Structure 1
């Protein structure tokens, strides 16, 4: 479904990504891990069009999307969430999600957008009323709004940037269940996460970055014992 081919991204003299390549299969959950500053969010920004690489390409379903702006990439069926949760704070939950439906990857009528909004909120099991103002929501509720917004607009590939950050143990369990539900729905997922309990609990494969370079790729059982990953990131506790 997705091919990252020799992607390099520089910020002045800093090389944030260096010749990174991997492929993602349809229906997979792929986790991208590594120390702070390894280039994980930069990679998500390249895939979603927020940044343009100096070298390399991003191929989605056979189409080169490397130079496309984010709104065009969204129309191709790629949605994302952000490490810092974003919403329109003065709008209601419903209004936030319906905007995602109207301006996502689908050509929807107003009626269809409303239907998809309620379906998405039900899918993520949103715990508050749809007319709740977004500024009154807590962290997990804002994350659920972001996920519902992505779903309402239609997505084949979902990029999740630290979806578990700031959550309690109970909330984390709910997020793990929700990620499995998304996969069962046929959505392919790229997950950036520091919480290894979550990564090893949901990922089919893992790509490891360090100083902008890919140092390992494989199944969770392989990554746990990979010498370079242990040295650069995991240590001995896994």
Structure 2
């Protein structure tokens, strides 16, 4: 197993957000997480990426415990992470955005860099950033401002940023959010390319059908707790998931 969460509890402001979360992700697999708004899906990605601390439990990556280390050190282990929204980066070119994924400090700190320093950094990281863009068929957009592009291209560019870290694990947070139904095929194609490259993926999305169609194993959750983990079809067909997540009766 490449990644494992072991009995993870998270509290924010004294409120329990995650309770006894445990799952494993095999190397080269795509692990999907579904659940209604507020279920704790993004919090799980925040825990893995070091943004949110645990009260109890551990995050284990390649046999090493990552619990309690800073986000930039997590990224240094080769864990890339996309964001739900790219609205804070619309003034950047696509190449600048992808280059930020290689900074040792946080992306948020990078936004405070002067234009001159950011441009200089982009030049030194051009090769890896362009490789990631080309892998997702985005090379033609490299020098265009992110804000001029469609939601789908913005999401793909952020996926390229996560990929540019160069590691084995990519965390994808709502990659189809704001993307039209006709453009979601491009997001699915990017996922297929990541899998072809041998990347391990943890995928959450508001569209359970998209997740189920693009994952090897699935975890359904609600109110910060695991409902069921296993084969995607079996998880979505279970009475507990229908009752608690889909709002359907046990029958």
TM-score normalised over the length of structure 2: 0.86
Write out aligned runs for 1:1-238 (5 A): 1-85=2-86, 88-101=89-102, 103=104, 113-126=125-138, 128-235=140-247
> What secondary structure, in the 3-state scheme, does the structure 2 residue paired with 1:234 have?
coil
Rate the CA distance shift 1:12–1:99 in 2: closer, same or farther, 3 A.
Answer: closer
* Displacement of 1:167: 1.1
Distance 2:159 2:211 in 1: 18
Say if 1:33 and 1:40, in contact at 8 Å, map to a contact too.
Answer: yes
Say if 1:80 and 1:160, in contact at 8 Å, map to a contact too.
Answer: yes
Structure 1: runs of 5+ lacking an equivalent: none
TM-score normalised over the length of structure 1: 0.90
* Displacement of 1:117: 1.7
Say if 2:50 and 2:70, in contact at 8 Å, map to a contact too.
Answer: yes
Q: CA RMSD in A?
A: 2.1
Rate the CA distance shift 1:232–1:121 in 2: closer, same or farther, 3 A.
Answer: same
Say if 2:96 and 2:122, in contact at 8 Å, map to a contact too.
Answer: no
Distance 1:110 1:17 in 2: 38
Rate the CA distance shift 1:12–1:112 in 2: closer, same or farther, 3 A.
Answer: closer
Say if 1:87 and 1:134, in contact at 8 Å, map to a contact too.
Answer: no
Structure 2: runs of 5+ lacking an equivalent: 106-120
Rate the CA distance shift 1:183–1:10 in 2: closer, same or farther, 3 A.
Answer: same
- Alignment length (residue pairs): 233
Poorly superposed stretches of 4+, deviation over 4 Å: 109-112
Rate the CA distance shift 1:90–1:111 in 2: closer, same or farther, 3 A.
Answer: closer
After alignment, is 123-132 or 142-151 more displaced? 123-132
